Structure 1
């Protein structure tokens, strides 16, 4: 059959590379079309398409060029059905503005990409159980192999969350270890290190600017602060509550500036510590001469605060990596349905903490 006859049947052909006959670019190019244009077998096209090894570089480039010329896109749905997996991890979270959530999400996306997986994000607009149930349902419809939830335990009602049986779940930043596999920072250990640092400097007690009541991380840090002071024989001062924002830290700082016996403050995160520093400065309380301040998170800007902020470093990259590692391990080999993996914290001492006046 000549070229004219081929055209009349609806399949246009032209002379390809190295004399091979090939299909001109159409929107319905098939794997067989790519194989003909590249002069290779369909099996070789499949191996290149799926990123498998065992194809020499010249052949790989030849196949990729043919794909580009024809506008061929592999059928990911068909490949997923054949493999029994979609190579996609769903992530459910809310409050994308917080440092911890954003950095954990970034680490999850990076680690997933390194493993050849895509990430589908479903942000929860309002942190309620109904919204979370809806997000889990939508992820089930979007064909994911696993789910990572970055949220508090009170939003994870296991009785009402429904996913296909093959979908694995790992939770970050929660105390849901009795129901799910959890990866989290050692919140308590970091808070204890902060309090001990200030007591070791000679401060008689440590005030605490806490995060919101509904936050698991905030509660763990508050409990550890209280326990560390009690174990050291010190009386915990009244708790001051914030909402993670610098503005709430500023408001708390205006209050604490009037507490003349306040010489040391442990803020539950760096953003609140930033607002606290500003308020104390405006009220004439020098840092660290009059008041020592320590934060939690070690955000990238912490070393540029005035003075540079002593803080507890959280390894968000490791949390994200372990979340991905956990769901992939459970997908491939099985594993425990619940339990908690803690990532250690590290105290980073900078210029915002010092012995109380008269003790230096």
Structure 2
């Protein structure tokens, strides 16, 4: 009999491919009835499970937990986090592993809450898309010996063995340097949630570079938009007097930059002729708008691939003592910034 694929097995069982993975890994997230049905079909059709997943210890679930940032309010509102999660998950499913979201206690129900998930060993490892975790959670992780890694939104200054993140300080510095070298002397910054370490690092580096070039970023020129497009639009409209000709605006992510672009267009302010605008993240939507958005490109492909490699090393019991990558980013100059416009 011809061996079937996991996709074909999922269709036969009437479940998703990720559910097949969970069943064959004896995940506690699937009912015993569904597990038995999928396993019976797998045996009948001589399904050969992925060798990497099969090599996991028998007490493993084959499920990895993905912890979103504390300010996460849904997949539609957080493009980058959602995209990273989805793409990592798709790669792990191919390896016979599953990736499921984990949230703070009571935020989206108790089943996938962080502390309960760790205490009950629901996951073989945890991926934290947040700056850091509190001491209680970290203590539980060490007690249960569950591997964990910080990615993307983490604090690059943390002394942690497992970390994959862009240098948020470099991002702010790149934008400040570009504006100053172009000759701008008036600046506005649109920042994300004030207590997030990536926001702090971007802002401090941006302000530091301006200071090194003899400029000061006034507190009144810092707008708060929580990484949200609509809030950025509203903030720019409410403070439109700040956007005088010859102003350079740094929006700490592309969604806020696009919101600012919409507000400026509504007010008849030309970008980049009147106001220069740079975002950060290099999301696809930056090229959907006219003018196309100048941005700082973060290497998300590398973050995703390195994270998957870490998970597979964990699954094979081959985790190195350290796995730490702080990645450089690159300024992508498009239509909203002209290097010589401020001179």
Report if TM-score (shorter chain) is over 0.5.
yes
- On the 8 A contact 2:176/2:210 being kept in 1, the answer is yes
Query: SS of the residue aligned with 1:217?
Result: helix
Deviations 1:54-85 (A, max 9, x none): xxxxxxxxxxxx95694788999xx6886554
For the pair 1:210 / 2:185, whether they are aligned, the reply is no
Query: SS of the residue aligned with 1:153?
Result: coil
CA offset at residue 289 of structure 1? 0.7
CA offset at residue 318 of structure 1? 1.7
Match of 2:89 among 109, 125, 128: 109
For the pair 1:291 / 2:291, whether they are aligned, the reply is no
Deviations 1:100-147 (A, max 9, x none): 21122123213323444222322447679x989942422553642211
Which aligned pairs between 1:174-185 and structure 2 lie closer than 5 A? 174-175=154-155, 177-179=158-160, 181-185=162-166
Distance in 1 (CA, whole Å) between partners of 2:90 and 2:280 is 24
Match of 1:89 in 2: 64
Query: SS of the residue aligned with 1:243?
Result: coil
CA offset at residue 207 of structure 1? 1.9
CA offset at residue 348 of structure 1? 0.9
CA offset at residue 342 of structure 1? 1.1
Deviations 1:137-186 (A, max 9, x none): 22553642211111232556445534664421101221173256221112
For the pair 1:312 / 2:296, whether they are aligned, the reply is yes
Distance in 2 (CA, whole Å) between partners of 1:103 and 1:156 is 28
Distance in 2 (CA, whole Å) between partners of 1:219 and 1:241 is 12
Distance in 2 (CA, whole Å) between partners of 1:346 and 1:81 is 38
Distance in 2 (CA, whole Å) between partners of 1:155 and 1:132 is 20
- On the 8 A contact 1:103/1:317 being kept in 2, the answer is no
Query: SS of the residue aligned with 2:284?
Result: coil
Deviations 1:210-245 (A, max 9, x none): 111122221111111111111222112322221111
For the pair 1:170 / 2:145, whether they are aligned, the reply is no
Match of 2:252 in 1: 268
Distance in 1 (CA, whole Å) between partners of 2:111 and 2:331 is 34
Pick which of 267-276 and 111-120 moved more.
111-120
Give aligned pairs, total.
293
- On the 8 A contact 2:169/2:201 being kept in 1, the answer is yes
Distance in 2 (CA, whole Å) between partners of 1:296 and 1:202 is 21
Distance in 2 (CA, whole Å) between partners of 1:213 and 1:313 is 22
Distance in 2 (CA, whole Å) between partners of 1:139 and 1:246 is 35
Distance in 2 (CA, whole Å) between partners of 1:313 and 1:222 is 17
The structure-2 alpha-carbon separation of the partners of 1:333 and 1:81, relative to structure 1 and needing over 3 Å to count, comes to: closer
Pick which of 102-111 and 287-296 moved more.
102-111
CA offset at residue 275 of structure 1? 1.3
Distance in 1 (CA, whole Å) between partners of 2:254 and 2:273 is 20
Which aligned pairs between 1:1-360 and structure 2 lie closer than 5 A? 70=44, 83=58, 85-94=60-69, 95=72, 96=75, 97-124=77-104, 134-141=113-120, 143-153=122-132, 155=134, 157-158=136-137, 160-162=139-141, 165-172=144-151, 173-175=153-155, 177-179=158-160, 181-238=162-219, 239-259=222-242, 260=244, 263-330=247-314, 332-336=317-321, 340-354=324-338, 359=343
User: For structure 1, which runs of at least 5 residues remain unmatched after alignment?
Assistant: 1-16, 18-48, 51-65
Distance in 1 (CA, whole Å) between partners of 2:100 and 2:135 is 19
Which has the larger Rg? 1
TM-score by length of 1: 0.70
User: For structure 2, which runs of at least 5 residues remain unmatched after alignment?
Assistant: 2-23, 26-39
Pick which of 189-198 and 139-148 moved more.
139-148
- On the 8 A contact 1:249/1:273 being kept in 2, the answer is yes
- On the 8 A contact 2:252/2:280 being kept in 1, the answer is yes
- On the 8 A contact 1:195/1:206 being kept in 2, the answer is no
